[in-house]
Amino acid sequence: MNAVITAVGGYVPAAILDNKTICEKVETSELWIEKRTGIKERRIADENTATSDLASAAIENLFEHYDVDRNEIEALIIATATPDHILAPTASKVCEKNGLTNAFGLDINAACSGFLYALELASSMIESGRYEKIIVAGADKMSSIVDYENRDTCILFGDGAGAVLLEKTQSDYGIMKSILRTDGGGTSSLFVPAGGSKMPATMQSIVHRSHFIKQEGPYVFKKAVSSMSKVSKDVLIKNELDTEDIDWVIPHQANLRIIKTVSENLNIDINKVKVNIERYGNTTSATIPLCLWDFKDDFKKGQYLLITTFGAGFSWGALCLKWGTMRKKRHRSQVHQSRKLSYEAVLQQM
């Protein structure tokens, strides 16, 4: 029993924050940002949009374009580092917004590795034989925890969401073996100090801007390169694959220099590496599913994909999968009707 991806959805907000605009906020240059990160622009959600809205839109995009019965979805796993609330899972709101009345929902927070961890969990649930259809989504509103007065972090992050449908299959297509790692010793090098049980919100924490991301950039960069490179080599061995067998690499979109260095360390042609960081920036939990959504038409049945991530925690990992057959796409008339029904459902909630 394997778990295979059969449908993909994605969503990014319409508003664009480009490098020119950032240069008006902090002391830097467009050339410096692009050279250091590979990022040209990011999508930013408005103040009335929550992470649950981003995730819901990505899942609705999946339902609109593929022939999927939402009543058959048994579970929803949301990977996010920016939940709507500290208490009350974001997945609960997403289940409500997407009409997933027969599914249970839960959140996973493994920062930038969250979607990979969630994919491993969901595939294991399906391989157990107890579940047949699970939606896994990665969504983050990073603009809600970014300090736009801090040049080191405000240039990096954007908002977005992506989602995949996992289904059971008796074939050898789908999720293969993974390796996941955690090193809590790196927590203070990339984290948001305040807002949790260790440092609840106070007037002092607000004054000290402790509710925004803090990062030791150079250290995180080196750790990301070494960790992603090693775990990717190890997971290829675990799956009895060589680098020549890999058709596509889907890396976490944190920094273009990290992506290129990992590609070089693996001796994999950069043309096999999927990159969209120039348009979205680092969307944390959403980077992997957004890449799958952006480039889904490039993936052919039987091709091998290597996914690798690194994030706060420190959390990192790699996973191989064999691309299978996607679900039948809806006709345009069906997409139009689906959008109409989705719009009416939104109106009923208002």
pLDDT digits (tens, 9 = 90+) for 300-341: 999 999 999 999 999 999 999 999 999 988 765 554 454 444
- Which residue type is seen at 214? K
Q: Same domain for 121 and 208?
A: no
Of residues 65, 95, 154, 252, which has the active-site annotation? 252
Q: Same domain for 229 and 160?
A: no
3-state secondary structure of 41: strand
Residue 224, token pair as written in the block: 């990301």
pLDDT reading at 347 higher than 70: no
CATH number (domain holding residue 113): 3.40.47.10
Give catalytic status of residue 336 as yes or no. Answer: no
Of residues 2, 19, 282, 291, which has the active-site annotation? 282
304 touches 247 (CB < 8 A)? yes
pLDDT of residue 340: 46
Q: Tell me the residue range of the domain where 51 lies.
A: 2-171+326-349
Of residues 2, 98, 109, 112, which has the active-site annotation? 112
Distance CA 90, CA 93 (A): 5
Q: Same domain for 121 and 165?
A: yes
Give catalytic status of residue 95 as yes or no. Answer: no
Whole-model pTM? 0.92
pLDDT of residue 339: 47
198: exposed, middle or buried (Cβ count in 10 Å: 0-12, 13-18, 19+): exposed
Banded pLDDT at 350 (limits 50, 70, 90): very low
Give catalytic status of residue 150 as yes or no. Answer: no
Q: Same domain for 208 and 343?
A: no
Residues in CB range of 271: below 8 A, 6 or more apart: none
Distance CA 242, CA 225 (A): 20
Q: Same domain for 183 and 283?
A: yes
